Amino acid sequence: MGEMADPIQLKDEGNKHFQAGEVDKAIECYTKATKLCKDKKVLAVIYRNRSAFNKQKLCSTIEPKNKTFLETLRRLGAEIQAKLKTTFSTDSRVQNMFDILLDEEMDKDKKEKAANNLVVLAREDAGAERIFQNNGVPLLLDMLETGKVEMVLAAIRTFAGMCTGHKARTMAIIHLVGIDKLCSIMAVDNEDIALATSDLFQCINDSLTGGDQRIYGKEEALVLDASKDLKSILMALLEMVASKKVSGHGRDQALNLLCRNVPRKDKKDHDHSKSLFTIDHGLKKILKVCGQIPDLPDQLPMTENTQLIASVLLDKLWDDLRCDPERDHYREVCDEYIKGKFDPNDMDRNIHAINALSGLLQGPFEVGNQLVGRQGIMEMMVALCGSEREVDQMVAVEALIHSSTKMSRASFIITNGVSLLKDIYKKTKNEKIKIRALVGLCKLGSAGGDDYSMRQFAEGSTEKLAKQCRKWLCNSAMDTKTRKWAIEGLAYLTQDADVKDDFVEDEPAMKAMFELAKSKDKTILYAVACTLVNCTNSYEKKDIMPELVQLAKFSKQHVPEQHPKDKKDFIQKRVKRMLKGGVISALTVMVKADNLLLTDQTKEMLARVFLALADDAKDRGMICAHGGGKALIPLALEGSAIGKIRASHALAKIAAVSNPEIAFPGERIYEVVRPLVSLLHPERDGVQNYEALLSLTNLAGLNDKLRVKILKEKALPEIEQYMFEDHDHIRQAATECMCNLVTCKEVQDRYLEDGNDRLKLLVLMCAEDDEKLQRAAAGALAMLTAAQKKLCTKMTLVTLQWMEILQRLILHDQPQIQHRGLVIVYNILNSDDNELAKKLIESEILEILTVIGKAMDNPKRQLVIDVARTCLVKAMDLGLIKPFTTPS
């Protein structure tokens, strides 16, 4: 071997010798390389290689003739070599990316490609570690300083990969980069950069708090205190909320991060110190955002979503409080802020206070409603409606809209504010104010809900208001924010059945709403969901006993009246028109919205709409074709308890009659199981139990993986319980589901266990008059006795009627049931219990088998005839009967 001056070449040559089994030459190359190498990192690798191979050489010297030992050494050596190859491959890739990015003369496209490749490398633990160890952080900081969007995004995303799941590395990056630096990047007026930086902050938070369950390396052995860093991040985000230097997109992401990470995810966790800290140090800043008036000068930069996200955060903080003193403190801070803004000499401060109050009314309504009730507040709102300034009118009208949710407030405004709203609507030339005044009138006009007898306005007035809303909705020349208010108006007015019918029949207006639902403005989601719930009548309705209605009438109490167009046939017609108009595609886009404005309440309403749309089995194929099945899964897994139940029920309706592999393609089919199993809970109603069992039966019939998934979700005890149900349909569905599950070993073992009546119940079910139940029970018994021969003997011990039941099965006029009975007979003959087989053949069953076996071939009953003949052949093999011979 010639002399080499390059330690890298010597290392590579040593690797080649090792692969060829030449351990001595490999060690020689590594030794020479150590004398020439000056790079500490490469030197460490060479020493590690030489040490590993020296140990291997020593081991092979100790046991030179032990083939097993030597083979193990060779295998371990190959594994070491593979690991080294991966390491050097990653090293070279990282170094290559750095060289390209540091080369000032390199082509721009190549630099951007290298930056994106670095992002991909950072997603692997080996790549993330090599980037970090090779002084990658300073390079990434240089990329941030370029100011070029592509380079900044690549650097931020690379940092996110490096921080994912690695606490020690995350803390090091925070201190090298700086929290203020990251906040300044998120503050720029670029939606993509703000979102990417928000994702980086989320990765940092998950790594420091253990929210990311993935494990990388051995850094878990280190005890690192991240509390100071987490507190610094929280303080920095709160500073961003009310800073004028922060863009609208950056403010949105700061609020989003606070919404995700401050309130407790689990109310069982007693530590809500982050919420208390945020209320003390940030509540007034959030209220400041809510109080901003975009039409006034010197306001905070905001997007169309900012103020509603702030209201959501206010609501989450309120909901996270645990006791009355904490809630009192929250109210006091809000009260102090709003009172401090009122100034008789400064109208801008007054409308700021009123707008902040609107933010509270859209968030923790209880707090806002209490503040509205203070003396003079409501009167000021009404007075501002008569102001000459358009901005005053706009803010006051919006506040009136938000505060009139309670009937008591609505009554006050109907008495004092309707004439003002009408006056504004007629006189103002500003379309933005006009539409808000209209929505105010819409909300007041719908104060009686769907109670036909509680209409607030004269006959036909609500229809006129709705017509104007539809007109604005269809006006594509108007901006999205203004058209959004038209949907707000319809959300209130569609509680009236006449308005529902008119809206659904107005196809352009309906399609315009569906298109707006797909827009970037997510503040529209709630209003669209409300409108859809009203049109499908999928809101919660309490059943009223007829006796109580009569009693109320007798005592001259008010009794709600149903509108004639709210009856089932009208609802079905509306649903058909909505499906035809493209409601499913709109719903799927709304569900995909990765935004905090898709609140649990909105999700619940969307789930209700899906359930109403899936009511008719004929429409379920259309729902699946437009992606409705996939959209329902996240609604069934996340949200309010009622919302998850409604979404799960809609899934059950679809899975019960559709091909699950088409309705829920790919791995999504396995995500459906948990929501369906949740419907088996005793607190769910009979329809939900029944349709869940039907859908699980459908899934269990597909493959073993799905059957195992159903068992893992602990559905088996519930299914068994429903096999004892008094309701015939539920009992039948549970038995059919069990029939599809008995191929699983876990299920078979439960039937083999002693001390229970599972097998007895199944045998007795085979004698039921209900043919569907009988067929399912016989099928389950046939598969069980085929899989477990011991059950053939056990079934004869659990009931004395087994022979009679078996005869009834094989004499049945339904070929499917008869076939199952004959399979059970064959399983007994094949069970290795000769005494039982002999007893069977000595009974009338032999005569029945003979009659069936001698029958002429018949395509409709051929399966039955073939099994009977197989049973006779088996009896002959056992020597229980002799072959039939014709006399000579």
Query: pLDDT tens digits, residue range 709-740?
Result: 999 999 999 999 998 888 889 999 999 999 99
Give me the pLDDT at residue 496, please: 85
Give the rounded percent of residues in the chain with a pLDDT score beyond 90. Answer: 39
Q: What is the CA radius of gyration of the chain?
A: 37
Binning pLDDT at 50, 70 and 90, where does residue 205 land?
very high
Give me the pLDDT at residue 23, please: 61
**Count of alpha carbons within 13 angstroms of residue 770, beta-carbon side:** 15
Quote the CA–CA distance of 613 and 611 in Å, as a whole number. Answer: 5
Does the pLDDT value for residue 541 go beyond 80? Answer: no
Are 766 and 799 in contact by the 8 Å Cβ rule? The answer is no
Mean pLDDT throughout 481-497? 86
**Count of alpha carbons within 13 angstroms of residue 790, beta-carbon side:** 7
Does the pLDDT value for residue 372 go beyond 50? Answer: yes
More confidently predicted of 420 and 312: 312
Binning pLDDT at 50, 70 and 90, where does residue 62 land?
low
Residue 36, burial from CB neighbour count under 10 angstroms (0-12, 13-18, 19+): middle
Q: Which of 44-53, 83-92, 296-305, 436-445 has the highest mean pLDDT?
A: 296-305
Give me the pLDDT at residue 450, please: 47
DSSP characters over 374-427? STTHHHHHHHHHT-SSHHHHHHHHHHHHHHTTSHHHHHHHHHHTHHHHHHHHHH
Give me the pLDDT at residue 71, please: 62
Binning pLDDT at 50, 70 and 90, where does residue 402 land?
confident
Give me the pLDDT at residue 345, please: 83
Give the pTM: 0.74
Mean pLDDT throughout 765-774? 89
Mean pLDDT throughout 598-621? 91
Query: pLDDT tens digits, residue range 810-869?
Result: 999 899 999 999 999 999 998 888 889 999 888 898 999 999 988 888 888 889 999 999
DSSP characters over 645-713? HHHHHHHHHHHHHS-HHHHSTTTHHHHTHHHHHHTTSTTS-HHHHHHHHHHHHHHHTT-HHHHHHHHHT
Q: Where are the domains of the chain?
A: 164-257, 262-365
Does the pLDDT value for residue 528 go beyond 60? Answer: yes
Give me the pLDDT at residue 632, please: 92
Q: Which amino acid is at 504?
A: V
More confidently predicted of 356 and 83: 356
Query: pLDDT tens digits, residue range 773-791?
Result: 999 999 999 999 999 989 9
Quote the CA–CA distance of 488 and 500 in Å, as a whole number. Answer: 14
Give me the pLDDT at residue 648, please: 95
Does the pLDDT value for residue 456 go beyond 50? Answer: no
Query: pLDDT tens digits, residue range 295-332?
Result: 888 899 999 889 999 999 999 999 999 999 999 999 99
Mean pLDDT throughout 346-356? 90
Give the rounded percent of residues in the chain with a pLDDT score beyond 70. Answer: 82
More confidently predicted of 91 and 820: 820
Mean pLDDT throughout 653-681? 90
> Mean pLDDT lowest for which of 100-104, 560-564, 653-657?
560-564
Quote the CA–CA distance of 612 and 566 in Å, as a whole number. Answer: 14
Give me the pLDDT at residue 365, please: 87
Count of Cβ atoms closer than 10 Å to residue 23 Cβ:
18
| Encoded tokens for 639 | 């949200």
Does the pLDDT value for residue 451 go beyond 50? Answer: no
Mean pLDDT throughout 20-42? 66
Binning pLDDT at 50, 70 and 90, where does residue 552 land?
low
More confidently predicted of 720 and 414: 720
Binning pLDDT at 50, 70 and 90, where does residue 454 land?
very low
Kindly report the three-state secondary structure assignment for every residue of 420-477.
HHHHHHHHCCCHHHHHHHHHHHHHHHCCCCCCHHHCCCCCCHHHHHHHHHHHHHCCCC
Q: Which of 602, 683, 695, 584 is nearest to 648 (CA)?
A: 695
Q: Which of 77-81, 241-245, 872-876 has the highest mean pLDDT?
A: 241-245
Q: Which of 879, 812, 810 is nearest to 848 (CA)?
A: 810
Does the pLDDT value for residue 458 go beyond 60? Answer: no
Average pLDDT, the chain: 83
Under 8 Å CB-to-CB from 822, ≥6 apart: which residues? 809, 810, 849, 852, 864, 867, 868, 871
Query: pLDDT tens digits, residue range 553-583?
Result: 566 565 566 677 878 888 999 999 999 999 9
Are 457 and 492 in contact by the 8 Å Cβ rule? The answer is no
| Encoded tokens for 246 | 């922060």
Q: Is 777 helix (H, G, I), strand (E, B) or coil?
A: helix
Count the helices and strands in the chain (H runs, E runs). Answer: 51, 0
Query: pLDDT tens digits, residue range 213-260?
Result: 454 444 444 446 788 999 999 999 999 999 999 999 999 999 999 999
